[in-house]
């Protein structure tokens, strides 16, 4: 109890950001003094439930000595009902009774504090839990020695109140109505204090130690060595100097109007608010967001920031940019800042792996009622004058987001809206930061349902939020503002009605929204669009003709199956024709290590000129075609002369078009082949002869019919135009009109299409309603009225929600997918890494009767790949897991082999083939994973 109280005090004084402290102290009559006192006192009493027979009976030797002192209790085996009294819940009831007896609290008023004690192991109790324990009073105080137990419990609680100083304030606190967000933050701080104090590396067992010895807590705190929060200062208002000092801008680069307006609006915003930045691709939104983050953090007291992105690939790219920005921030002290890459493959990211580690590697935190509540058997917690560190204690799926700075997948943010164990820690992790949400248009209704609820909590916490998008429908803009501000109806009508582009929107609780429409930077790309039939032969002939003088084309397919089919056909055609045109494949179904190399190769050939030079690559001079899935939409800064794309929702089509003539290559694009000097996009993947067009089945499965038909309808005037000028989509001028029209409610397209469009909309609306209802089943409630406790807050939740396939499936509308580590069985029977890895790692023989050396195990871990759709079907999934587990290597499951323990391994034969759950699997370095149903 004393150790936890001491840690809580240190956390409050040295780790909790000012943004969080201000919220807690604002809810209490004694302000800052009350806030610190309440945190320390709650930590001191959180384990009072251990002073009960239900807990004490677990170690018979110690229980017997307690019996001799007059505290009777049954043997553990004689208490089968003790599961009704986990020590958190027991503590809640004991504290409730004590507050009523000692300080006259009304029973309902006790709940807002006692529930914090009841939920300190991550799951907040329910009324049913309380009633069940109340009906078994012998678990709290044994019959025959009720008064002896009561006296001990009272003595401990009295001592905690007196020692911490809370005794003088508990009477005044009885009238306080704590806002629910404050209760959440207090709960999280108690859990943190408990985890640190329960760790034997920091607080070794010392029965003779003085409970008030400051050296004990001081030594523990020094060993823990938590970095203090970011102390941001308002940056230099001179924009050119600010951007030049924070970002690697080309010599003489001008600050773009969107960037200037974003910084100005951040300065003008209230401390708490949401800033939505809508601007074309390539306008520098990320730099604008980071500059705004610095301003908002300085004014709000935020202790860091989190940048949320759609995918691991975009997260990895952003992490490098975040690190570069952090290294250029003013350094005002010697303490390092903690940094975290928030996704399940962070340990394999080179930039993250190179960060210095600080803080002692600690043993597991154990504080239990018979089971280790804090250990996840599949968790992978591993242990520059940058001042940036990956802290040992702030690692892993439950604690990593508590680091000051993080970039990662949006799942990490959405988890804050999911009823799950230790949800309060996820809230504490974001409540003290500025939150930046990039590519917000990429999230469907299911994810958006969670995002809206998280925004409601961020608004309640007063967290500054910056939202970025190039293609945001007006209605979605309004929904985001409504979620954050808690306001509905006509109050935010202006947000939806604004039609400027670029567009900035600032919205806060109790404030009128502010909108601004800065000019675009002047960068323009005119893209000629035309229909193209979905005929592989016609595609091959067209590309042969277009690339006869050289040039780089990209063919974007909506499914990996179509990527493979297209690449195979093009290779055959080009080989037979002797065109000399190369074909590269890019999609998400490559081994992790291969995908990183693929991305680097794409940047080295098709990236901006400075990146190509940095990577020592060169743009192909002969004709070349990249056949890709959606991976080229947003995660890579690459640039092509010609595009062929499957029909997709219009916002995604525009994102794809943004990869055309993205960078200036010579005056007037003169360095491109003459016939490709004008950007052109051929739209295929549909039967254009039908009325309305009929998208291919794979596209309908991915995006559904309605948004595909709306995209075709709003593009129809361009596609049907009888002049080249009419067939031009002008970027960025046409982005917002096309997006708003496609996602609006007005009829679009030829009149003869309207019946089919109406039917598709009805089905789409029903699907979206079903998505929202499905997401709502496990969505945490919105912030309730002040004084209402968190009792039952995560009732009927999902249990642990970590960054695992099952966890991600909870916040994305997807089935749990199966990830495997790929190795190869050579002709001689030996198991090895796949041969095409780097010289050090490729083709290395792996021991099967012992754990591989760590460097070799890590090489295997980089060879993970997620199996495609057929393996999400329950019967196929179960069969596949059974077959893979039959082939596992027991020695690789040792906990010391943290790279491989708990992972499933797929063994390919010498020809890189395998049979799994009735499917034939092949893998090649050129094309990645392919799956076919076995005959």
The closest of 183, 230, 187, 787 to 461, measured between CA atoms, is 183
Task: To the nearest 10°, report the CA torsion of 766, 771, 772, 773.
Answer: 90
- Condensed to tens digits (0 to 9), the pLDDT of residues 167-218 reads 999 999 999 999 999 999 999 999 999 999 999 889 988 877 766 678 888 9
Residue 249 in any domain: the answer is no
Same domain, 928 and 909: yes
What domain range is 588 assigned to?
A: 525-731
User: In the predicted model, is pLDDT for residue 634 greater than 90?
Assistant: no
- Give me 903's structure tokens: 């992972």
Same domain, 633 and 724: yes
Same domain, 279 and 212: no
pLDDT given at position 817 = 73
Same domain, 174 and 293: no
pLDDT given at position 683 = 98
pLDDT given at position 93 = 98
pLDDT given at position 531 = 96
Read off the pLDDT of each residue in 810-815 and give the average, rounded to a whole number. Answer: 65
pLDDT given at position 606 = 96
Farthest-apart Cα atoms in the chain, separation: 99
Residue 420 in any domain: the answer is yes
Return the higher-pLDDT residue of 205 and 507: 507
Q: Are the C-beta atoms of residues 372 and 364 closer than 8 Å to each other?
A: yes
What confidence tier does 252 reach under pLDDT thresholds 50, 70, 90? low
- Give me 565's structure tokens: 């089919």
The closest of 587, 535, 589 to 557, measured between CA atoms, is 587
Read off the pLDDT of each residue in 357-374 and give the average, rounded to a whole number. Answer: 47
User: In the predicted model, is pLDDT for residue 366 greater than 50?
Assistant: no
- Give me 140's structure tokens: 């709290």
Same domain, 478 and 529: no
User: In the predicted model, is pLDDT for residue 547 greater than 90?
Assistant: yes
Domain boundary among 711, 731, 751: 731
DSSP 873: S
User: In the predicted model, is pLDDT for residue 313 greater than 50?
Assistant: yes
The closest of 685, 693, 745 to 716, measured between CA atoms, is 693
pLDDT given at position 365 = 44
Cα-based angle 211, 212, 214 (whole degrees, multiple of 5): 120
Number of H helices, E strands in the chain: 34, 26
| Least trusted range by pLDDT, from 434-438, 511-515, 648-652 | 511-515
Same domain, 129 and 261: no
Read off the pLDDT of each residue in 108-132 and give the average, rounded to a whole number. Answer: 95
Q: Cis peptide before 732, with omega less than 30 degrees from 0?
A: yes
Q: Are the C-beta atoms of residues 404 and 338 closer than 8 Å to each other?
A: yes
Please give the span between the terminal C-alpha atoms of the chain, in angstroms, as a whole number: 65
The CATH number given to whatever domain includes residue 617 is 3.40.50.300
Read off the pLDDT of each residue in 74-102 and give the average, rounded to a whole number. Answer: 95
pLDDT given at position 227 = 86
Read off the pLDDT of each residue in 591-597 and give the average, rounded to a whole number. Answer: 93
User: In the predicted model, is pLDDT for residue 379 greater than 80?
Assistant: no
Same domain, 605 and 474: no
pLDDT given at position 668 = 81
Read off the pLDDT of each residue in 334-348 and give the average, rounded to a whole number. Answer: 75
Q: Which residues pair with 276 in a beta bridge?
A: 467, 505
Return the higher-pLDDT residue of 723 and 709: 709
Residue 160 in any domain: the answer is yes
Read off the pLDDT of each residue in 361-380 and give the average, rounded to a whole number. Answer: 40
Q: Where does 30-87 show beta strands of DSSP type E? A: none
pLDDT given at position 349 = 76
Same domain, 883 and 829: yes
Q: Are the C-beta atoms of residues 86 and 121 closer than 8 Å to each other?
A: yes
Please state, in angstroms and rounded to a whole number, the distance separating the CA atoms of residues 59 and 94: 22
Return the higher-pLDDT residue of 237 and 147: 147
pLDDT given at position 733 = 92
Same domain, 296 and 198: no
The closest of 625, 422, 406 to 536, measured between CA atoms, is 625
Residue 372 in any domain: the answer is no
Domain boundary among 467, 492, 516: 516
- Condensed to tens digits (0 to 9), the pLDDT of residues 518-538 reads 988 878 899 999 999 999 999
DSSP assignments along 14-37, one per residue:
HTS-HHHHHHHHHTSTTHHHHHHH
- Condensed to tens digits (0 to 9), the pLDDT of residues 866-903 reads 999 889 888 898 999 999 988 778 899 887 788 898 89
Residue 752 in any domain: the answer is no
User: In the predicted model, is pLDDT for residue 259 greater than 90?
Assistant: yes
Residues 6 or more apart from 332 whose CB is under 8 A from it?
231, 233
Same domain, 553 and 406: no
Residue 540 in any domain: the answer is yes
pLDDT above 70 covers a percentage of the chain that reads 92
| Helix (H/G/I), strand (E/B), else coil: 642 | strand
For residue 365, how many other CB atoms are within 10 A of its CB? 22
| Least trusted range by pLDDT, from 35-49, 326-340, 355-369 | 355-369
User: In the predicted model, is pLDDT for residue 550 greater than 70?
Assistant: yes
Same domain, 511 and 563: no
Same domain, 280 and 404: yes
Residue 219 in any domain: the answer is yes
User: In the predicted model, is pLDDT for residue 135 greater than 80?
Assistant: yes
Polymer length in residues for the chain: 935
Q: How many distinct structural domains can be found in the chain?
A: 4
Please state, in angstroms and rounded to a whole number, the distance separating the CA atoms of residues 763 and 674: 46
| Least trusted range by pLDDT, from 305-319, 447-461, 486-500, 722-736 | 486-500
For residues 467-504, b (16+ Cβ closer than 10 Å) or e, as one string? bbbbbbbbebbbbbbbbbbebeeeebebbbebeebbbb
User: In the predicted model, is pLDDT for residue 250 greater than 70?
Assistant: no
Read off the pLDDT of each residue in 1-5 and give the average, rounded to a whole number. Answer: 94
pLDDT above 90 covers a percentage of the chain that reads 69
- Condensed to tens digits (0 to 9), the pLDDT of residues 724-778 reads 888 999 999 999 999 999 999 899 999 999 999 999 999 999 998 988 888 888 8
- Residue 79 phi/psi, 5-degree rounding, is -120, 65
User: In the predicted model, is pLDDT for residue 689 greater than 70?
Assistant: yes
pLDDT given at position 385 = 32
Q: Provide the phi-psi class of 902: left if phi over 0, else alpha when psi is between -120 and 50, else beta.
A: left
Residue with tokens 């003169």: 670
pLDDT given at position 245 = 87
pLDDT given at position 342 = 80
Please state, in angstroms and rounded to a whole number, the distance separating the CA atoms of residues 753 and 755: 6
- Give me 244's structure tokens: 């030049």
Read off the pLDDT of each residue in 347-365 and give the average, rounded to a whole number. Answer: 63
The closest of 748, 728, 744 to 736, measured between CA atoms, is 744
Domain boundary among 731, 750, 771: 731
What confidence tier does 802 reach under pLDDT thresholds 50, 70, 90? low
What confidence tier does 375 reach under pLDDT thresholds 50, 70, 90? very low
DSSP 733: T
pLDDT given at position 813 = 61
Q: Mean pLDDT of all residues in the chain?
A: 89
Q: Provide the phi-psi class of 617: left if phi over 0, else alpha when psi is between -120 and 50, else beta.
A: beta
- Condensed to tens digits (0 to 9), the pLDDT of residues 465-505 reads 999 999 999 999 999 999 999 988 777 888 988 888 999 99
DSSP assignments along 550-614, one per residue:
--EEEEE-SSHHHHHHHHHHHHHHHHHHT---EEEEE-S-S-HHHHHHHHHHHHHHHS-HHHHHH
Residue 196 in any domain: the answer is yes
């Amino acid at each position: 109890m004393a150790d936890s109280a001491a840690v809580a005090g240190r956390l409050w004084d040295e780790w909790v950001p000012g943004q969080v402290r201000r919220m807690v102290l604002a809810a209490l009559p004694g302000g800052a003094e009350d806030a610190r006192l309440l945190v320390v006192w709650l930590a001191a009493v959180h384990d009072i439930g251990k002073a009960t027979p239900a807990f004490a009976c677990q170690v018979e030797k110690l229980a017997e000595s307690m019996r001799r002192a007059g505290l009777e209790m049954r043997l553990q085996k004689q208490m089968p009902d003790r599961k009704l009294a986990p020590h958190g819940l027991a503590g809640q009831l004991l504290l409730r009774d004590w507050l009523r007896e000692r300080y006259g609290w009304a029973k309902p008023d006790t709940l807002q504090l006692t529930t914090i004690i009841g939920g300190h192991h991550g799951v907040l109790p329910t009324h049913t839990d309380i009633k069940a324990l109340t009906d078994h009073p012998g678990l709290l105080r044994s019959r025959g020695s009720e008064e002896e137990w009561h006296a001990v419990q009272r003595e401990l609680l009295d001592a905690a109140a007196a020692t911490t100083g809370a005794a003088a304030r508990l009477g005044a606190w009885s009238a306080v109505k704590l806002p629910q967000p404050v209760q959440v933050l207090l709960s999280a701080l108690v859990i943190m204090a408990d985890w640190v104090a329960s760790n034997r590396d920091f607080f070794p067992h010392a029965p003779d130690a003085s409970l008030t010895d400051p050296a004990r807590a001081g030594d523990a705190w020094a060993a823990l060595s938590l970095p203090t929060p970011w102390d941001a200062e308002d940056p230099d208002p001179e924009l050119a100097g600010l951007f030049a000092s924070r970002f690697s801008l080309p010599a003489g680069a001008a600050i773009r109007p969107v960037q200037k307006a974003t910084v100005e609006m951040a300065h003008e915003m209230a401390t708490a608010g949401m800033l939505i930045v809508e601007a074309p691709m390539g306008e520098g939104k990320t730099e604008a967001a980071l500059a705004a983050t610095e301003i908002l953090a300085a004014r709000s007291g935020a202790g860091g920031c989190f940048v949320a992105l759609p995918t691991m690939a975009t997260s990895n790219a952003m992490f490098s940019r975040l690190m570069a920005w952090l290294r250029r921030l003013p350094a005002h002290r010697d303490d390092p800042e903690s940094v975290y890459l928030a996704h399940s493959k962070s340990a394999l990211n080179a930039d993250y792996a190179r960060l210095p580690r600080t803080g002692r590697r600690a043993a597991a935190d154990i504080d239990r009622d018979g089971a280790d509540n804090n250990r996840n058997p599949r968790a992978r917690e591993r242990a520059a004058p940058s001042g940036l560190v990956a802290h040992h204690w702030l690692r892993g799926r439950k604690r990593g987001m508590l680091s000051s700075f993080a970039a990662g997948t949006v799942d990490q943010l959405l988890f804050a809206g999911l009823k799950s164990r230790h949800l309060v820690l996820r809230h504490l992790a974001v409540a003290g930061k500025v939150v930046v949400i990039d590519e917000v248009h990429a999230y469907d209704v299911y994810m958006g349902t969670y995002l809206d609820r998280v925004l409601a909590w961020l608004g309640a916490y007063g967290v500054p939020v910056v939202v970025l998008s190039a293609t945001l429908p007006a209605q979605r803009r309004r929904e985001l503002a409504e979620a954050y501000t808690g306001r509905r109806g006509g109050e935010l009508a202006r947000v939806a009605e604004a039609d400027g582009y670029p567009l900035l929107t600032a919205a806060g609780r109790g404030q009128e929204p502010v909108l601004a429409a800065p000019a675009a930077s002047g960068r323009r790309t005119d893209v000629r669009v035309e229909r193209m039939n979905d005929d592989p032969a016609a595609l091959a002939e067209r590309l042969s003709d277009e690339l006869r003088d050289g040039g780089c084309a990209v063919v974007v397919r909506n499914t990996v199956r179509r990527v493979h089919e297209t690449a195979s056909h093009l290779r055959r055609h080009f080989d037979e024709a002797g065109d000399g045109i190369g074909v590269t494949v890019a999609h998400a179904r490559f081994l992790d290590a291969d995908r990183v190399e693929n991305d680097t190769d794409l940047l080295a050939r098709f990236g901006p000129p400075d990146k190509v030079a940095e990577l020592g690559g060169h743009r192909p001079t002969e004709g070349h075609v990249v056949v890709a899935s959606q991976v080229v939409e947003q995660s890579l800064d690459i640039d092509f002369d010609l595009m062929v794309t499957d029909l997709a929702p219009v916002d995604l089509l525009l994102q794809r078009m943004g990869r055309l003539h993205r960078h200036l290559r010579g005056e007037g694009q003169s360095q491109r082949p003459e016939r490709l000097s004008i950007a052109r996009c051929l739209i295929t993947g549909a039967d254009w002869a039908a009325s309305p067009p009929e998208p291919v089945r794979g596209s309908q499965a991915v995006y559904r019919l309605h948004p595909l038909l709306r995209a075709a309808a709003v593009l129809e005037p361009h596609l049907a135009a009888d002049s080249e000028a009419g067939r031009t989509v002008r970027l960025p001028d046409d982005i917002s009109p096309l997006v708003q029209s496609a996602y609006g409610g007005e009829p679009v397209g030829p009149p003869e299409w309207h019946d089919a469009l109406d039917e598709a909309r009805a089905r789409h609306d029903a699907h979206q309603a079903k998505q929202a209802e499905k997401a709502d089943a496990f969505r945490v409630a919105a912030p309730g009225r002040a004084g209402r406790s968190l009792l039952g807050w995560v009732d009927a939740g999902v249990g642990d929600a970590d960054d695992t396939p099952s966890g991600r499936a909870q916040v994305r509308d997807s089935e749990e997918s199966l990830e495997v580590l790929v190795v190869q069985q050579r002709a001689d029977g030996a198991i090895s890494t796949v041969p095409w890895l780097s010289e050090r790692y490729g083709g290395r023989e792996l021991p099967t009767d012992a754990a591989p050396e760590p460097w070799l195990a890590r090489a295997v871990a980089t060879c993970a790949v997620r199996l495609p759709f057929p393996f999400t079907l329950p019967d196929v999934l179960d069969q596949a897991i059974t077959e893979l587990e039959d082939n596992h290597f027991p020695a690789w499951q040792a906990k010391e082999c943290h790279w491989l323990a708990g992972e499933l391994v797929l063994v390919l034969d010498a020809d890189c083939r395998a049979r799994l759950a009735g499917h034939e699997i092949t893998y090649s370095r050129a094309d990645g994973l392919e799956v076919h149903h076995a005959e």
